[in-house]
Amino acid sequence: NAGVTQTPKFQVLKTGQSMTLQCAQDMNHEYMSWYRQDPGMGLRLIHYSVGAGITDQGEVPNGYNVSRSTTEDFPLRLLSAAPSQTSVYFCASRQTGANYGYTFGSGTRLTVV
Amino acid sequence: QQQVKQSPQSLIVQKGGISIINCAYENTAFDYFPWYQQFPGKGPALLIAIRPDVSEKKEGRFTISFNKSAKQFSLHIMDSQPGDSATYFCAAKTLGNEKLTFGTGTRLTIIP
């Protein structure tokens, strides 16, 4: 199994540009999440989904949109990139059940100039 | 508002020693406390997790100690090895809620 696959691995954007970070999982997990990781701040939840067609906001949702049309895919859209969105973005998924933890992808390093 | 406070920020331990990382939480509704290990350039990986109905959980060289009354939990790595050098994150969430709250991380270095 590939697990959680994120593309691209690296991206440079200009301020104001939009883009979509892709996330796909092949484990048939119902729950998926997007986090951003910044130095000294740990990981912060952006958006999450508990199943196809269901999404909700996390701790830092502003400037990001998500959709979940299939169980496998959970793309993250940056509407108008800002330098404050320079970060490493991680997608994660887990199966239903209280004792299952999240499996993380390898991340997308995004720089906004 | 930081709901999970982690310390220390960095830690250097000699090979064979015990590494201890501490976390404290504020939200008494938290009922699931995982620890994640992250190597450079990789995503975090679940290491071990505990629920508040037990005070300790051990998996190999890794042990979580949990103190519900003090709202604190810690990770102990016994017989620390150079391969354990990584960044460790504690986290917490409530049952039925997918909002996992992370600590700020501890960079652990094991020296020979």
pLDDT tens per residue across all 113 residues of chain A: 679 999 999 999 999 999 999 999 999 999 999 999 998 888 999 999 999 999 999 999 999 999 999 999 999 999 999 999 999 999 999 988 767 789 999 999 999 99
Cβ contacts of B44 on chain A, cutoff 8 Å = 43, 90, 104
Looking at the complex, report in whole angstroms how far the Cα of residue B58 sits from the nearest Cα belonging to chain A: 16
Q: How confident is the model at residue B57 (pLDDT cuts 50, 70, 90)?
A: very high
Looking at the complex, report in whole angstroms how far the Cα of residue A51 sits from the nearest Cα belonging to chain B: 12
Task: Give the bridge partners for A92, in sequence order.
Answer: A33, A104
The number of CA neighbours under 13 Å toward the Cβ of B2 is: 15
- Which residue on chain B is closest to A6 by alpha carbon? B43
**Per-residue pLDDT averaged across B30-54, rounded?**
94
Q: Which residues contact A3 (CB under 8 A, 6 or more apart)?
A: A25, A26, A27, A103, A105
Cβ contacts of A32 on chain B, cutoff 8 Å = none
What is the tens place of the pLDDT at every residue in B67-112? 999 999 999 999 999 999 999 999 999 877 888 999 999 999 999 9
- pLDDT for res A1: 63
**Alpha helix locations (H) across A1-113?**
none
**Is B99 close to A58, i.e. CB distance below 8 A?**
yes
Percent helix, strand and coil across chain B, each to the nearest 5 = 5, 55, 45
**Is B103 close to A42, i.e. CB distance below 8 A?**
yes
Confirm if A60 and A44 have CB atoms less than 8 A apart: yes
- pLDDT for res A106: 96
**Is A101 close to B95, i.e. CB distance below 8 A?**
no
Cβ contacts of A102 on chain B, cutoff 8 Å = 46, 100
- Which residue on chain B is closest to A93 by alpha carbon? B98
Using CA atoms, how far apart are residues A107 and B44, in angstroms rounded to an integer? 10
CB pairs under 8 A between A and B: 54
Identify the three-state secondary structure at position B112: coil
Confirm if A5 and A58 have CB atoms less than 8 A apart: no
Q: How far is CA A78 from CA A24, A84, A85, B97, in A?
A: 17, 12, 9, 25
- pLDDT for res B94: 85
Confirm if B5 and A71 have CB atoms less than 8 A apart: no
**Is A40 close to B104, i.e. CB distance below 8 A?**
yes
Looking at the complex, report in whole angstroms how far the Cα of residue B5 sits from the nearest Cα belonging to chain A: 10
Task: Give the bridge partners for A73, in sequence order.
Answer: A24
B98 touching A (Cβ < 8 Å): yes
- pLDDT for res B2: 63
**Is B42 close to A45, i.e. CB distance below 8 A?**
no
**Is A31 close to B103, i.e. CB distance below 8 A?**
no
- pLDDT for res A29: 94
- pLDDT for res B1: 55
* pLDDT mean across residues, chain B: 94
